[in-house]
Amino acid sequence: MTTMAERLRQARVKIDDARDVVHGDTGASPVLVAVVDEFAGKAEKAAGADDERAAVIELEQAGDSAKAAVEADTGVAEATRQVVLDAHLAICIAKAKLDG
């Protein structure tokens, strides 16, 4: 059975990948870059958190912001959009397991 710590580590890999892709996308807006950087920062913080529930909730909120930002960014590449949405989904799945 996968632990929450393992789920957070798996989500962090996807979030870090999203950050790297966003930074490499010349069409990504500065707002998107900042929001995804914040998402990645929250993922780093969540990985070492004592209170996993609070960390997951905070990370999900940052993920929701990243999802909204990438959906609103008209200059971003489709591959970039997808990697951010995948990172958002990873934390949503982790939160669903938390509530389950």
In this structure, what token pair is assigned to residue 90? 């990873």
Q: What does the pLDDT look like over 82-94, one tens digit per residue?
A: 999 999 999 999 8
What percent of the chain is predicted at pLDDT more than 70? 98
Quickly tell me which residue has 């870059």 as its tokens: 33
CA distance 75 to 58: 28
Q: pLDDT class for 5, splitting at 50, 70, 90?
A: confident
Q: What's the Cα-to-Cα distance from 46 to each of 12, 43, 79, rounded to whole Å?
A: 9, 5, 26
Is pLDDT above 80 for 65?
yes
Domain that holds residue 78: 4-99
Model pLDDT for residues 25-46, shown as the tens digit of each residue: 999 999 999 999 999 999 998 8
Residue 18, token pair as written in the block: 């999203």
- The tally of domains found in the chain comes to 1
The CATH number of residue 14's host domain is 1.20.120
The answer to whether 94 and 56 are in contact (CB under 8 A) is: yes
Q: At residue 74, does pLDDT exceed 90?
A: yes
The CA distance from 62 to 43, in Å, is 9
Q: At what angle do helices 78-99 and 30-47 cross, to 10 degrees?
A: 30
pTM of the model: 0.92
